[in-house]
Amino acid sequence: MPTLPVRIRRLDPDLPLPARRHPGDAGYDLCARTDAHVAPGARVLVPTGIAVAIPDGYAGFVQPRSGLALRHGVTVLNSPGLIDAGYRDELQVLLHNTDPHAPFDVRRGDRIAQLVVQRVHEIDWVEADTLDDSARGHGGWGSTGRT
């Protein structure tokens, strides 16, 4: 599989670079640079200690870790968080604790989210008076049924 060179700057040299847990995984784990306390229902911006230079034509998407969501109700609030190719500041993750009762404590070095880098296309919008028909047509939210 071809690789995409992405320049990365460590703002905290003691933290690991983003890494996949298994070969073929799409997500690269992001670690917390600082401790954080996320009270029930609260949100906290957690720095990762890295800055990246995503190449033009690509974007980064910060997504929740499924284990944190399942076990603690902790997710990425603006999921997926978009990192545009021109962004060069420290990556930070907006964690949200959906648990109504239990707080969640982040410790420095904890894996808190995952980064997926994907190709994106520039759009050339073409205005039209009508659109082609499709099997779905005008079906909106929930139009495809329960399952």
Task: Please choose, from the candidates 40, 60, 45, the residue with its C-alpha nearest in 3D space to the C-alpha of residue 119.
Answer: 60
Do the Cβ atoms of 97 and 103 come closer than 8 Å?
A: yes
**What are the chain's domains?**
7-119 (2.70.40.10)
Instruction: Say what the pLDDT of residue 143 is.
Output: 66
pLDDT in tens, the chain (147 residues): 789 999 999 999 999 999 999 999 999 999 999 999 999 999 999 999 999 999 999 999 999 999 999 999 999 999 999 999 999 999 999 999 999 999 999 999 999 999 999 999 999 999 999 999 887 777 776 666 666
What tokens were used for 86? 């021109």
Q: Is the pTM of this model over 0.85?
A: yes
Distance of CA 11 to the CA centre of its chain: 19
Q: Which of 107, 85, 127 is nearest to 37 (CA)?
A: 107
